[in-house]
């Protein structure tokens, strides 16, 4: 019969109260020592036979009194003694047979109490067994002071854990089970014998036979019970994961190769188109267009006093039907012609709207006149203004050769206007 040992009433201190199986009485002993039987802990669920008598003693401090000999004071307590009978009623297995309150705990086990207990034992003799009462589930008794778990040797703070034993034999342990530890990959599972992966398993402390750690698959880590389903060993899982990684790496390498091949193909196509366009422009440069078509592509304001930036497309039409486009960017009193729309669009986008207009003192030199020929490549000339002389000495800017400070600054982060106009395909 499963019986819950009566708990200690609030606010009594658990250390002042006790519970015991009433198996017999010792007439020669005094006080509570006259009761023979197994001590029980309040709140525990025990398995015992119907007909067993269960004795509870609850003491409460009622005051303090002076010692008879010497200085000091001692606690004065009352006591309530109750005898319960274990029945076969599953809903209410404990039946109260007798209870009495004593103003002084010293009188709790006097002659009258021993006589009453003797009468109850004669009426309800203890079951004929010498086996100890089995504790099915212990109630938690938190630690009164910090200590170390007797099983896993981890620290237990005050107010947590669980106290076992009584008096000098009191020890601390984690309540019901000790904290789990991380399992090592490749360790066999104690339940199914299959080696485990660390993230799918745990180490639990088995307290039987002195306590030992064992590795088990975690049901929440696998999603099922390893004892009822077939699972892969750690070695097989590692091999499978390695195979998956290799397949993914091979797939990524193929994708990268396809991407690189596409990039090379695009660059080759662009190079062919550029060469074809350059050849065609060189051919028609000796011809005179019969008409020119104009189309404005983009137009945006640059701020108060700064005018607008305009990207315009001009298409020269020749007598043989050839149509040759070119583009100009007009902004800040500057007009630059390009033979590549992407380059023209990039320079158009470089112009930004600015509310704070400033008349910069460092204006770049004007570009060479459209009708003036570019010096031959063997003649040193400025990449921005096209000049062939430098009073302060030639300077090498980030993107071209400069004749003075203004041209050097203009080519710090962009190609010079002369190079964009006369050398659009040179890098």
Higher pLDDT, 310 or 386: 310
- Percentage of the chain beyond pLDDT 70 is 93
- Percentage of the chain beyond pLDDT 90 is 54
pLDDT at 94: 94
pLDDT at 164: 84
Alpha-carbon gap, residue 417 to 103, rounded angstroms: 112
Reply yes or no on whether the pLDDT at 396 is more than 80: yes
Higher pLDDT, 323 or 304: 323
The tokens 């630059």 sit on which residue?
336
Confidence of residue 414 (pLDDT cuts 50, 70, 90): confident
Query: In this structure, is the dihedral angle defined by the CA atoms of residues 151, 157, 158 and 160, taken in order, positive or negative?
Result: negative
Beta bridge partners of 152: none
Phi, psi torsion values for 64, nearest 5 degrees: -130, 150
Report which of 168, 200, 165 is spatially closest to residue 182, judged by C-alpha positions.
200
Chain centre to alpha carbon of residue 77: 56
Residue 37 CB neighbour total at 10 angstroms: 18
Phi, psi torsion values for 46, nearest 5 degrees: -120, 160
Reply yes or no on whether the pLDDT at 103 is more than 70: yes
Burial of 52 by CB count in 10 Å (0-12 exposed, 13-18 middle, 19+ buried)? buried
Q: How far apart are the first and last CA of the chain?
A: 97
Report which of 71, 226, 42 is spatially closest to residue 138, judged by C-alpha positions.
42
Confidence of residue 425 (pLDDT cuts 50, 70, 90): low
For the segment 185-203, the average pLDDT, to the nearest whole number, is 93
User: What is each CA distance from 281 to 73, 88, 287, 297, 371, in whole angstroms?
Assistant: 118, 111, 10, 22, 17
Confidence of residue 275 (pLDDT cuts 50, 70, 90): very high
Give the largest CA-CA distance in the chain.
139
Reply yes or no on whether the pLDDT at 145 is more than 80: yes
Q: What is the mean pLDDT of the chain?
A: 87
* Six token digits for residue 112: 């009258």
Residue 402 CB neighbour total at 10 angstroms: 25
Confidence of residue 370 (pLDDT cuts 50, 70, 90): very low
Higher pLDDT, 233 or 370: 233
For residue 425, give every residue at least 6 positions away whose Cβ sits within 8 Å of its Cβ, in sequence order, or none: 274, 278, 339
Where does residue 162 fall: left (phi above 0), alpha (psi -120 to 50 degrees), or beta otherwise? beta
pLDDT at 128: 76
Contact indicator for 186, 194 with CB cutoff of 8 Å: no
Report which of 38, 48, 42 is spatially closest to residue 86, judged by C-alpha positions.
48
Choose the most confident range, by mean pLDDT, from 70-79, 141-150, 287-296.
Answer: 287-296
Choose the most confident range, by mean pLDDT, from 77-91, 216-230, 349-363.
Answer: 77-91
Higher pLDDT, 92 or 390: 92
For the segment 96-109, the average pLDDT, to the nearest whole number, is 93
User: What is each CA distance from 318 to 275, 276, 291, 371, 418, in whole angstroms?
Assistant: 20, 17, 7, 20, 26
Reply yes or no on whether the pLDDT at 266 is more than 70: yes
Confidence of residue 192 (pLDDT cuts 50, 70, 90): very high
pLDDT at 363: 46
For the segment 241-255, the average pLDDT, to the nearest whole number, is 96
């Amino acid at each position: 019969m499963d019986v819950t040992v009566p708990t200690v009433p609030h606010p009594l201190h658990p250390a002042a109260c006790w519970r015991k199986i009433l198996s017999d009485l010792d007439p020669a002993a005094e006080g509570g020592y006259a009761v023979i039987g197994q001590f029980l802990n309040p709140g525990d669920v025990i398995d015992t036979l119907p007909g067993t008598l269960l004795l509870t003693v609850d003491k409460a401090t009622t005051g303090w009194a002076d010692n008879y000999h010497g200085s000091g004071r001692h606690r004065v307590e009352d006591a309530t003694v109750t005898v319960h009978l274990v029945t076969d009623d599953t809903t209410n297995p404990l039946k109260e047979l007798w209870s009495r309150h004593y103003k002084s705990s010293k009188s709790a086990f006097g002659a009258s109490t021993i006589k009453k207990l003797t009468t109850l034992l004669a009426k309800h003799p203890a079951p004929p067994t010498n086996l100890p009462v089995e504790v099915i589930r212990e109630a938690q008794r938190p630690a009164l002071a910090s200590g170390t778990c007797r099983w896993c040797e981890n620290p237990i703070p005050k107010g947590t854990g669980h106290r076992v034993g009584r008096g000098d034999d009191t020890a601390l342990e984690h309540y019901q089970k000790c904290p789990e530890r991380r399992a090592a990959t490749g360790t066999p599972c104690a339940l199914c014998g299959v080696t485990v992966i660390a993230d799918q398993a745990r180490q639990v402390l088995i307290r039987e036979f002195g306590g030992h750690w064992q590795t088990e698959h975690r049901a929440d880590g696998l999603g099922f019970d390893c004892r009822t389903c077939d699972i892969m060993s750690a070695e097989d899982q590692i091999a499978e994961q390695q195979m998956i990684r290799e397949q993914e790496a091979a797939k990524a390498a193929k994708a990268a190769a396809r991407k690189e091949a596409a990039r090379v193909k695009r660059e080759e196509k662009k190079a062919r188109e550029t060469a074809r366009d350059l050849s065609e422009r060189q051919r028609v440069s000796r011809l005179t267009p019969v008409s020119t078509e104009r189309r404005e592509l983009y137009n945006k304001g640059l701020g108060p006093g700064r005018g607008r930036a305009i990207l315009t497309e001009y298409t020269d039409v020749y007598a043989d039907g050839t149509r040759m486009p070119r583009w100009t960017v007009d902004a800040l009193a500057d007009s630059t012609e390009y033979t590549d729309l992407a380059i023209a669009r990039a320079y158009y986008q470089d112009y930004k709207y600015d509310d704070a207009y400033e008349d910069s003192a460092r204006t770049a030199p004007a570009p060479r006149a459209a009708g003036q020929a570019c010096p031959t490549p063997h003649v040193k000339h400025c990449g921005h203004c096209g000049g062939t002389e430098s009073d302060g000495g030639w300077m090498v800017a980030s993107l071209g050769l400069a004749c003075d400070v203004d041209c050097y600054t203009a080519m710090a982060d962009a190609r010079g206007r002369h190079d964009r106009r006369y050398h659009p395909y040179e890098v």
